[in-house]
Amino acid sequence: MKIIVGLGNPGKKYERTRHNAGFMAVDELAKDLQVDVAQDKYHALIAKARIDSEAALLAKPQTYMNDSGRAVAAILRETYTTVSDLIVVHDELDLPLGFVRVKTGGGHGGHNGLRSLIEQLGSPDFMRVRIGIGRPEPGRDPADYVLSPFFAVETQLAAEAVVKAAETVRLIIKEGPAGAMNIVHKK
């Protein structure tokens, strides 16, 4: 079984913020798979689905970004899966708005959600689908920037990136990590 986790913060206050790009992508994938990520379990909202012939669990941790690892560790423990079965979808300051990239392993790059996952799981070796949100203008605090909604002129590009991220998760499952990287990174 594949565990697909979108990172974000729960609640209306954060719903359309840059930091919730991972939640948005999981919601997009759920819509495409015709499931509702609404069951409250493992400190997360979850849904079971099938992607091609693979069983999948979609999850949106409800522990807030900085403690996402607690929910993800509970999911892996209770479903008897490992970090090799995990695909994490998250926002990425170091990618321009609209870009989507695939990566396996690596550090947290200052992303508190990834930091929490690495600490709780004891390993950075999970698959990542990174959604570019760009960097804030000089002088603006990155923490405030990620917790702000997309500007009106950015919404179309952000929405396209969310759709592409959901498609990328499906590609990872269908083509494997290397195959998905070859396809996604060529575009």
- Please identify every residue annotated as catalytic: 19
Closest by Cα among 107, 110, 106, 164 to 132: 164
Question: Which tokens sit at 120?
Answer: 């709780």
For residue 166, CA distances in Å to 22, 152, 174 come to: 9, 22, 13
Taking the C-alpha atoms of residue 127 and residue 109, their distance in angstroms, rounded to an integer, is 15
User: Burial code of 89-128, b = ≥16 C-beta within 10 A, e = fewer?
Assistant: bbbbbebebbbbbbeeeeeeeebbbbbbbbebbeebebbb
Q: Half-sphere exposure (CA, 13 Å, Cβ side) for 148?
A: 14
